[in-house]
Structure 1
């Protein structure tokens, strides 16, 4: 009877108010609640597809929506079921109010309600209940004021954004993403009917907790709408048979690291657009996760794929799993972490050497033992190959030739070229040395991909971007185009790794000191990509090599966007395409600035042991080897001859005492090679 009294009072007040001049003033003076509710921050891909959304402050999913983003079928069903005269009344449906009051008077209880969609919006905006008569009167007043200041479309839009759908789900977009795994622009009759039914009792009818109740509520809606011919009988029959899922779909959470970065960059922005392609991003994340599954403990991975013709990043994976709790620290964006790049900077060194006329791909360079003060670089396998072509030295990723070139170019100039290419690079201690060429510098995966994008663009800096529609600054040249093409051509001559797709990529691998980082960076005529694998805490990963671990993933990553590689461009007209013998004499052999003091190419070289080696004593003595030179050889220890007239290139020296030993080998022409070793 209390509710009956309320209806009678509302009817009396409403009728009386209609006849008063003060009514309009009363409505106009209504203080409205905030009609711009907070909505979830969204991150979308280049086509507008939702990549990720964030809950609002109270942990609710409430996504912005407009009426044209919602299936018209749902809106038609909603209005027909909830408020059939919505487009005619001014916030309160007087006919419905009179009908409800009559039914209450006749039956002694409430038979039907009279709440309009506008009144429901008023309640949702103020988060007020529905039972108290004072609250209902307030809703009437707010509803009528809303009708004065907002259009019908804007009121409907507020309902679509605020209606409760159970749990922490508010609004039709959050509901369709959660219960159907899709946006609300295309719905079946069954889905639309369920969405109409849920806000009336959102907790009781939640399909993820009570499928039976949800199905029954959907049927009630369909039956009533069939009776009013809003839904055809055939549509209703089909809808009744459609199953209801009892599980909520997770909200999209693609490109989480990049989404977080976008939000930090512009915290006031409600919608962020990235250059990412959603379907490509999803496959790249799956590739990353699968690639480290079953591998070393706490291993992580990062991937970047971009279009180097535009600079737009198409896929960006910061780790193998954003919320991975297996100790991999998946929340860390490893695309930005500064790590040792291993051998991946070598192409830049060679390109600078070509740029400055110090060498040509067909030039000969000597892979021999060298020392620069206390720094004596070694090849990865400890071997020396003697004289070979520069392009072959790059393909084999030899250390000594690239250090020889770096010594001639100057480490500072190499660092300056990295800066011009847009690569952030930090040298421990701040003073770059020759070791920079071998990875003695901190760079990031994003930086290396940008460097290789510049190589692919003929030495023109190509700033990579993840912000869709962002205009990039004018690019800077850091290499001449023929040098960039020559290096690209050399790298494209590398065979794909075992088991990888047979596509032609210009690529380079790298492994940092102590096997802490495995890299592979490459490009074709359009796309550039990079892979990093390692542990976020920087601890070694025994047996991790860029060529074996990262390179196959690089080819898979590029394969996600193209079935076959886009051909590299032809050489620029000014490119010098000659064999060694046809090169100008100064380019036939790389000699360097100290060539006048260097031994002749055929002078003897200590093949074993290398300078600085630390070896264990043996009862059989010390095995030594010499390369080049002319026999017979004389072997000396600390200046004293211990073997003379040795015709072979291998000998056994009777050395049985601990300590440092300076070994010297001299050939018949008096030319010598030396190495200082320690015996333990």
Structure 2
């Protein structure tokens, strides 16, 4: 038997020596910390234990309490304490039962590492051998750390940090003497912690330890008496859960570790409270989910991460879904990127007029939010008012595939389909994006513009990067102008970004954004909203040189709600979040990329020689290649200015020649309704030859349009309403569909027509002999 005893003991020692530093293979809880080192949240270990990963240090108060109670000569013995063993043996023999143990902290650590096996003589010998080996493998402080991190503290609580949070709701370093004394005596009798059981014994043990601390001079009389008056902990308290969606996201990649983030604890609490408050307000309209991001523009660090509402745990409402990483229809949120891209490539100037008349692209007929057309609008106004039709025309000019490539380079990771799949709808929400990507993309634009001056007019490609939930290196020095990492070929130029942000910070908001005036007093922010089709997604993203904030509102299930809009629901959240943040300076104007340019006040194009209202403005240098104003033309008038004339009906000396702003008929048809100062051309003087120019324009349908048969309430096909415009207000139009005469119109040229499925030819002839033909198809 003795030989077997020593053989088993030898095996135990060999097993320990084979892996002396993996004595605790159990998995740990996952912990999330703020940038200030505060615990934001925790997830229980896979084995159901609250076991925090070992900390670097242990609070001094706990060490003092522990060693006073368990092992006074810890720093002087080699792992076993002969004096304590002799004392325990004497007491046990006197009492004829076990009333005291001689185990050191190191021996208790060995016992915990071995799974708290039954206390037998053999186990005691093995623990003694392990203790001696542990003392050779680890320093005294490391042994204390291991013990404090793995000692049982009652129930499923393991380790001093987990115990501090579960029983007192605070970090172990913040505990009082009484609280530390309570925890110091628990590993010896962990069952005493249960409320309603053995409370007197637990308090007696704690107070006895406090008395020992007073006797040794650690506590004075007042501190001792106050400590004894402190109550024992009641039921375990929940651990912090202030960023649950971020914790779930990061824990998937780093389970069982301490994760330090860039999140600021107070800002996180405030942001989550705002999200929860608005969710309660919106619940009356059955809108249940919100998400918000607050980020540092300069570094891309996430300062607050509210992945969804947290005030209720009803999974049917989708609160568990992290909306920040969920792809959702983008609505209008991508429009500023298209505007900036066209400025960057010199395809337009900020005020260039863009056509806003009915449009049909292979059956796709975009509409402005209020179902109104404005004829022609400046490009920057189309961004300010988020007009759909002008932006679709701009995308057609820029090219969808080219725009997709730009978005991917800017950081959009959700464009998984082909150019043909998205088509022109890409700019109106035909693609899905995440709040994470989109907020990061706006932050990259702001970062690029902010760095333009420090980089002496050059660009660092590294400025275009995604957000990060981890602390970044904010003290990275500005590169020298000669640094090879800098380039003169940016993704988007500072000039294009600056004009884009100017449009975004203007106070002219979309029609659906009727409440924008409430934000007028806010700090200057470049902000954009978006609303997806059917009221499923409401977006608002805003940026300044210091901060970029993104907000999404809707239902995680994808259910749309009437009245859900970007400005009505997401923008109030956005500006409440900005109200938490300090202000700062606005972006510097990038003069090195601008130059004075003569611009037509009416068309927004470079002024031609005959433009009579010209402003000299700083414009992007890339706009030098844009066309001059095509809308001003020289017109010959009769001496009284009432008629247009030419040499066939008036002598030259009786003509008045002047510049006239003339839009194409289809644009003029809508434009003049919103511009009372727009003057249409005077009629041609009777007897004069008509001008040989395009007199007739089809507003609806367009050439090669695809039309779909409208159904009425009866289920029968309804008639199409065809619409045209003529350069002369006194013209008469004669309408023909294929070989069938439909009728004539004057003034307001529109006519009802029923067309069967198939291809058709529509012909219009005016009373001057001009004609216009188009093909269209009905499906």
TM class by smaller structure: 0.7 to 0.9
1:433 maps to 423
SS of alignment partner, residue 290 of structure 2: strand
Give the Cα separation in 2 of the matches to 1:167 and 1:625.
79
> What residue number does 1:468 align with?
471
Does 2:440 match 1:450? yes
**Distance (whole Å) between structure 2 residues aligned to residue 91 and residue 219 of structure 1:** 28
**Once the 2 structures are TM-superposed, how far is the Cα of residue 481 of structure 1 from its aligned partner?**
1.4
Describe the superposition over 1:628-657 as per-residue Cα deviations: whole angstroms up to 9, x where unpaired.
75434647665477775745x498x788x8
Query: What SS does the corresponding residue of 1:335 show, helix, strand or coil?
Result: helix
**Aligned partners of 1:461, 1:232: CA distance in 2, in Å?**
60
2:382 counterpart of 1:382: no
Distance 1:583 1:208, change over 3 A: farther
Distance 1:369 1:128, change over 3 A: closer
2:52 aligned to 60, 63, 85, which one?
Answer: 63
Matched with 1:133 is 121
**Aligned equivalent of 1:301:** 290
For this pair of structures, how many residues does the alignment match?
Answer: 646
Cα distance in 2 for partners of 1:30, 1:143 equals: 14
Q: How big is the shift at 1:133?
A: 3.3
Task: Give the equivalent residue in structure 2 for 1:222.
Answer: 210
Separation in 2 of the partners of 1:184 and 1:148? 28
User: Aligned pair in 2 of structure 1 residues 25, 573: CA closer, same or farther (>3 Å)?
Assistant: same
Q: Secondary structure of the residue that 1:362 maps to in structure 2?
A: coil
Aligned pair 1:497/2:516, yes or no?
Answer: yes
What residue is the counterpart of 1:332 in the other structure?
A: 321
Q: Which position in structure 1 is the counterpart of 2:692?
A: none
CA distance in 1, matches of 2:576, 2:331: 22
The superposition leaves residues 489-524 of structure 1 with CA deviations (integer Å, 9 ceiling, x where unpaired) of 110113683545712211111111222211111201
Q: 1:631 aligns with which of 729, 737, 740?
A: 729
1:401 aligns with 2:390: yes
Aligned-partner SS, 1:573: helix
1:235 to 223, 240, 245: 223
**Partner Cα separation in structure 2 for residue 381 and residue 650 of structure 1:** 22
Instruction: Out of 433-442 and 344-353, give the one that drifted further.
Output: 433-442
Please list the CA deviations of residues 127-147 of structure 1 after superposition, one character each: whole Å capped at 9, or x if unmatched.
224643333333233223322
Q: In 2, are the aligned partners of 1:363 and 1:587 still within 8 Å (CA)?
A: no
Contact kept, 8 Å, 1:498 with 1:552, in 2: the verdict is no
- How many Å apart are 1:163 and its aligned residue? 1.5
Deviations 1:212-254 (A, max 9, x none): 6544443232233333433222111111233344232322334
Q: CA RMSD in A?
A: 4.1
1:583 counterpart (578, 596, 606): 606
TM-score normalised to structure 2 length: 0.73
Work out which of the residue numbers 249, 264, 272 in structure 2 matches 1:285: 272
**Which 5+ residue runs of structure 2 have no aligned equivalent?**
450-462, 477-483, 509-514, 609-625, 632-662, 669-694
1:53 to 1:474, Cα distance in 2 relative to 1, 3 A: farther
The equivalent residue for 1:484 is 497
TM-score calculated relative to the size of structure 1: 0.83
* Equivalent runs, 1:312-351 vs 2, <5 Å: 312-321=301-310, 324-351=313-340
Confirm or deny: 8 A CA contact 1:207 1:214 kept in the other structure. Answer: no
Match of 1:535 among 546, 555, 567: 555
SS in 2 for 1:203: helix
Quick one: distance in 1 between partners of 2:258 and 2:298?
26
1:527, distance to aligned residue in structure 2 (A):
1.3
- Describe the superposition over 1:391-431 as per-residue Cα deviations: whole angstroms up to 9, x where unpaired: 11211111111111111111111111112212124265552
From the superposition, tell whether residues 390 and 298 of structure 1 become closer, same or farther in structure 2 (CA, over 3 Å).
Answer: closer
Partner of 1:84: 72
**Cα distance change of structure 1 residues 118 and 363 upon mapping to structure 2, 3 Å threshold:** same
**Are 1:256 and 2:244 an aligned pair?**
yes
1:75-129 CA deviation, whole Å, 9 max, x = no partner?
A: 1122112211111122222222222222233343344332221221121111224
Shift in Å, 1:296: 4.4
Structure 1 residue 165: Cα displacement: 1.1
Give 3-state SS (helix, strand or coil) of 1:507's partner: strand
- After superposition, the Cα gap between the structure-2 partners of 1:139 and 1:426, relative to the gap in structure 1 and judged at 3 Å, is same
Q: Which runs of 5+ in 1 are unaligned?
A: 1-12, 18-23, 592-596
- Taking the aligned partners of 2:95 and 2:199, their CA distance within structure 1 comes to 33
Equivalent in 559, 563, 578 of residue 558 of structure 1: 578
The answer on whether the counterparts of 1:285 and 1:317 sit within 8 Å (CA) in structure 2 is yes
CA distance in 1, matches of 2:713, 2:72: 98
Q: 1:423 pairs with 412, 417, 441, which one?
A: 412
- Tell me if structure 1 keeps the 8 A contact 2:666–2:725: no
Q: Identify the match of residue 160 of structure 2 among 172, 192, 216.
A: 172
What is the CA–CA distance in structure 2 between the aligned matches of 1:605 and 1:347, rounded to whole Å? 31
Out of 234, 237, 246, the position equivalent to 2:234 is 246
SS at match of 2:305: strand
Select 1:274's aligned residue among 237, 240, 261: 261
SS at match of 1:302: strand
Residue 538 of structure 2 corresponds to residue 518 of structure 1 = yes
Aligned-partner Cα distance in 2 for 1:617–1:108 = 99
